[in-house]
Amino acid sequence: MKVSKYFVSLAAVFCITLLLPPTAAAKNLKVITTLTDLASLTQEVGGDKVDVEALAKGYQDPHYVDPKPSFLLKLRHADLLISVGLELEIGWLPPLITQSGNGNIQPAAADDGTALGAALYRSALSKEVINKRLAVPFFGPSYSEGEIHAALKEFGDRVEANTFEKLDETCREAAKLIADGKVIAWFRGRMEFGPRALGHRSILAEPGDPDMRDRINAMVKMREAFRPFAPAVSLEQVSRWFDVPPMTELPYMIMIVNVRKEYRATLPAITHVDGSARVQTVSARDNEDFHTLLRAVGEITGREMVLNTSFNVKGQPIVNTPQEAIETFLRTGIEYLFLENTLVKRRP
């Protein structure tokens, strides 16, 4: 992250950080905690007076857009780091990000993000903030092959396992299952930091299956029927299926964009009623193993895309350990589980 001049926090739910070059002095960091102060910040950047009531309405209503001028689009020429809590799917974030040359959204945009904000604030005071791009946040624990085999042994009377030698073999087998309409759990590498499963603790399925949303809801998630699941798509193909410029990076699954009109009917499991989707892009640079899986899926379906939802049941956190993964697999309708390169099935 870059050195910050402004740290804006509204009820620990919404914050914007205006970023400066790394040579900026940390003593310039200013903490802002009210909508009035945020309006003043916007005026400072945009030059025009901002209506605080409009600002409040835009904050409270995720579908509200102040048409002319948009209070947030005044910031489009700045380098922005945005952290949003309850409004992770807020409607005015996409135009702000796409019109800001260096806009970005911090992935752990909830209570867990306050720890990151506190560390950033303290580091800024100590002039130790590194001006560096934040990669996909795989900051959690990972588990060895021995730990996975120990977990499998614990459940040996209920599951059977087959281990592949290479990642490519694992991905080909998983891709076949997804293309065949199966629901799989994918447990790999270090756990994600933040509210979204980004391909290390995920439930994956075919996004073009019109019954898939209801199937996953019935077997695992128990969510409202109208809520779609999110797509994970290769960075190379994101602009083919979604209305964004080529190679648009949306790696944290917290941005809503439109599904291209010609594909909405063929992607029912990930398309909302208004034609939008909460997209995760996957690059070989940041998420190589998951990218390899998407490429394998694309070789079969023609789409380097899967439905991706977090590996947990309603009311429970995302699974962390191999034991938790197997337990959740066994008490849900998930059909197959991949623990690293090991394919796990229920015993007959």
Q: What integer pLDDT is reported at residue 256 of this predicted model?
A: 84
- Does the pLDDT value for residue 337 go beyond 90? yes
3-class secondary structure, 163: strand
Residue predicted with more confidence, 155 or 314: 155
Q: What is the pLDDT of residue 276?
A: 92
**pLDDT for position 135:** 80
What residue spans define the domains of the chain? 4-125, 145-346
Residues of the chain with pLDDT > 90, as a percent, come to 53
Q: Is the pTM of this model over 0.85?
A: no
The DSSP output letter for 107 is S
Check residue 155 and give its pLDDT. Answer: 98
E-assigned strand segments in 166-236:
184-187, 201-205, 230-234
Q: What is the percent of the chain where pLDDT is above 70?
A: 66
Q: Is residue 122 over pLDDT 60? A: yes
**pLDDT (average), residues 205-220:** 94
Residue 246 pLDDT greater than 80, yes or no:
yes
Q: How many CB atoms lie within 10 A of CB 226?
A: 8
> In the predicted model, is pLDDT for residue 123 greater than 80?
no
φ, ψ of residue 83 to 5 degrees: the values are: -125, 115
Round to whole Å and give the CA distance between 100 and 77.
Answer: 5
- Report the mean per-residue pLDDT for the chain: 79
Between CA 327 and CA 41 the distance in angstroms is 49
The pLDDT tens digits of the residues spanning 143-157 come to 999 999 999 999 999
State the average pLDDT over residues 326-335.
97
Residue 225: per-residue pLDDT: 67
Average pLDDT over residues 226-236: 90
Specify the amino acid at residue 213: R
Which fold, 145-346?
DHBP synthase (3.90.870)
pLDDT tens digits, residue range 283-313?
999 999 999 999 999 999 999 999 999 999 9
pLDDT digits (tens, 9 = 90+) for 44-68: 655 555 555 555 555 455 444 443 3
What pLDDT, on a 0 to 100 scale, did the predictor assign at position 279? 95
Which has more confidence, 206 or 120? 206
| pLDDT value at residue 71 | 47
pLDDT digits (tens, 9 = 90+) for 250-265: 898 888 889 999 999 9
Return phi, psi of residue 74, to 5°: -60, -25
Closest by Cα among 258, 255, 238, 257 to 246:
238
Instruction: State the Cα–Cα distance between residues 314 and 318, nearest whole angstrom.
Output: 10
Alpha-carbon distance values, 343 to 145, 149, 195, 304 (Å): 13, 12, 26, 21
Q: Residue 116's pLDDT is what?
A: 73
Find where tokens 């079969």 sit.
Answer: 300
Contact between residue 323 and residue 145 where contact means Cβ atoms under 8 Å apart:
no
Amino acid at site 22: P
Give me the torsion for CA of 127, 133, 138, 142, rounded to 10°: -70
Q: How are beta strands 305-310 and 201-205 bridged, if at all?
A: antiparallel
Average pLDDT over residues 84-100: 50
Q: Rounded to whole angstroms, how far apart are CA atoms 215 and 211? A: 6
| Average pLDDT, integer, range 25-34 | 42
Cis upstream peptide for 69 (omega within 30°): yes
